[in-house]
Amino acid sequence: MEKKYSDDGFMLHTDLYQINMLETYWRDGLHKRKSIFELFFRKLPFGNGFAVFAGLERIVQYIENFRFTDDDIAYLRNEAGYGEDFLDYLNNLRFTGKITSMREGEVVFGSEPLIRVDAPLGEAQLIETALLNIVNYQTLIATKASRIKHVVGNEVAMEFGTRRAQEMDAALWGTRAAYLAGFDSTSNVRAGKLFGIPVAGTHAHSMVQAYRDEYAAFSKYAETHKDCVFLVDTYDTLRSGVPNAIKVAREFGDRINFIGVRLDSGDLAYLSKEARRMLDEAGFPDAKVVASSDLDEYTIVNLKSQGAKIDSWGIGTKLITAYDQAALGAVYKIVSIENEAGVMEDTIKISANPEKVTTPGLKKVYRIINKKKGYAEGDYITLEGENPASEKRLKMFHPTHTYIKKYVSDFEARELHTDIYADGKLVYKLPSLEEIRKYAKESLGHLWDEYKRSLNPEEYPVDLSQKCWDNKMRNIEEVRAKVERIGAE
């Protein structure tokens, strides 16, 4: 197809229905009504005990570019048939609202607002798709990366996924998500350039095949590179690959920095132990064994249990595609809207599944940290205006199984949201990626080990304050009464 329009903005990165709803609101004069939306997911991915929030920097990029371009308007005029008056409105549309959000790297849980948008209805509605698109992917990958890094421990985790990622943006932002959640490096050079992530890598089988000879390939690589990791499995790992790597390392001596060998197929436990033994016997005890080949947290744990001697793990496909769970399932729900009289009214979405009933109202999220132990007792969602810190003894109860409760005293109530936008202006200084990575580590540090284990972790409490819970019940009752009235008519 002939390219009629340039790809010069993010505004059309939305679902058509958002623009259609916006048109309805605008024609009906509802677009300026103050509204509050919350972005959250319900269920933690991968059966993990927590998720790692990521995506905020990209959201800021998106909001900073919140304006339809001339080409966007031309497209909407020519291909989508919107009227000139509405197009005029779109042309002048800017984001004027408020956004509060979790910080990137924050450990987060199901059913708590990760982002709150407090904006004129039209604006808040229009940004839904992009916000979900960004958070759903980046938080999913950051969480997967955190799981993998948890089992890798103090060894090195290298991100190798670009070639298998769902296209370029996914590779780039997925790599960033992996790094902020604890990965040590990436093979994606653009991610190195744009985000300052350390880049690392070895070489491919194609190089060995291009020289048609393993020894020649390793030697030529050594002639051109100081740091050398030789890929030893192209022909026969133990009979040819490792011996050739050792031979070249000996011949080049101090002229190269022989970092080690990479295994990419076969029985990685057995081969790593044998490679380790051969390297040690050859006088290279510091040479590392790198492994790759469809690795994830499960194979890594299993390889470790077999006594594998692997120092560095290269992880691609299963990380960057979130192989075992393709989507986080985060949603964006309206919780409050201004009425004709200018008064904010809560709004609720009812479901037969109690966990899917939304929690209405303007809310805040606090992490309740036990001051003595330094660990989190749970997250506590309040209505705006409540101050949990002023309570001596905080009652925390399960929002659906309310008989499950506990009292917490001597705690810090740490508010988890921070202001990102106020009156459409960016009021948040984006932290560096290194700061985010450090923050992610600290945030995870507040969790008991029981929530951190990768298999069958304990369920972390995300509770509602009594007022918030009462408000939800009142809203449910009001909707019920309304439905019954309609049913009786």
Ligand X SMILES: O=P(O)(O)OC[C@H]1O[C@H](OP(=O)(O)OP(=O)(O)O)[C@H](O)[C@@H]1O
Residues of the shown chain interacting with ligand X in the complex, contacts defined by CB under 6 A: 160, 163-164, 204-206, 264, 292-295, 314-318
- Chain-centroid distance of CA 71 in Å reads 31
* Residue 205 touches which of ligand NIO, ligand X, ligand ATP, none (Cβ within 5-8 Å per kind): ligand X
Q: Does 160 bind ligand NIO (CB under 6 A)?
A: yes
Shortest Å, Cβ 206 to ligand ATP: 14
The correct pick among 61, 206, 257, 302 for binding ligand ATP (CB under 6 A) is 302
The correct pick among 69, 237, 244, 299 for binding ligand ATP (CB under 6 A) is 299
Torsion sign across C-alpha atoms 459, 465, 468, 473: positive
Measured CA to CA, the distance from residue 301 to residue 155 in angstroms comes to 13
- Count the residues in the chain: 489
* Residue 201 touches which of ligand X, ligand NIO, ligand ATP, none (Cβ within 5-8 Å per kind): ligand NIO
Q: Does 269 bind ligand ATP (CB under 6 A)?
A: yes
Measured CA to CA, the distance from residue 425 to residue 99 in angstroms comes to 10
* Residue 306 touches which of ligand NIO, ligand X, ligand ATP, none (Cβ within 5-8 Å per kind): ligand ATP
Shortest Å, Cβ 312 to ligand X: 13
CB nearer to ligand X: give 318 or 437. 318
CB 14 within 8 A of CB 90: no
Q: Please, which contacts does 381-384 make with residues 24 or more away whose CB atoms are closer than 8 Å?
A: 381/112, 381/113, 381/462, 381/463, 381/464, 381/465, 381/468, 382/464, 382/465, 382/467, 382/468, 383/465, 383/467, 383/468, 383/471
What are the angstrom distances between the C-alpha of 104 and each of 55, 135, 158, 175, 451?
7, 10, 21, 14, 19
* Residue closest to ligand X, measured at CB: 316
479, two tokens: 């909707």
The helix (run of H) or strand (run of E) holding residue 176 is helix 167-180
The correct pick among 69, 133, 138, 187 for binding ligand NIO (CB under 6 A) is 187
* Residue 187 touches which of ligand ATP, ligand NIO, ligand X, none (Cβ within 5-8 Å per kind): ligand NIO
* Residue 96 touches which of ligand NIO, ligand ATP, ligand X, none (Cβ within 5-8 Å per kind): none
Three-class secondary structure of residue 55 per DSSP: coil
CB nearer to ligand ATP: give 265 or 418. 265
Give, as one character, the DSSP assignment of residue 341.
T
CB nearer to ligand X: give 22 or 295. 295
The correct pick among 303, 376, 440, 462 for binding ligand ATP (CB under 6 A) is 303
Strands (E), 233-356: 257-263, 288-291, 312-315, 331-338, 344-346
For residue 257, list its beta bridge partners: 227
The correct pick among 294, 449, 450, 478 for binding ligand ATP (CB under 6 A) is 294
The correct pick among 97, 174, 314, 361 for binding ligand NIO (CB under 6 A) is 314
Shortest Å, Cβ 163 to ligand ATP: 14
For residue 52, list its beta bridge partners: 107
CB nearer to ligand X: give 120 or 316. 316
User: Hey, how many other C-beta atoms are within 10 angstroms of the C-beta on 50?
Assistant: 22
Q: Does 312 bind ligand ATP (CB under 6 A)?
A: no
- Chain-centroid distance of CA 342 in Å reads 37
Q: Does 243 bind ligand NIO (CB under 6 A)?
A: no
Question: For residue 416, which phi and psi values (nearest 5 degrees)?
Answer: -90, -20
Shortest Å, Cβ 160 to ligand NIO: 4
Measured CA to CA, the distance from residue 410 to residue 415 in angstroms comes to 16
Q: Which stretch binds ligand ATP (CB under 6 A): 22-30, 143-151, 294-302, 388-396?
A: 294-302
Q: Does 240 bind ligand ATP (CB under 6 A)?
A: no
Q: Where on the chain is the footprint of ligand NIO (CB under 6 A)?
A: 160, 187, 201-202, 262, 292, 314, 316
**Residues interacting with ligand ATP, by CB under 6 A?**
265-269, 293-295, 299, 302-303, 306
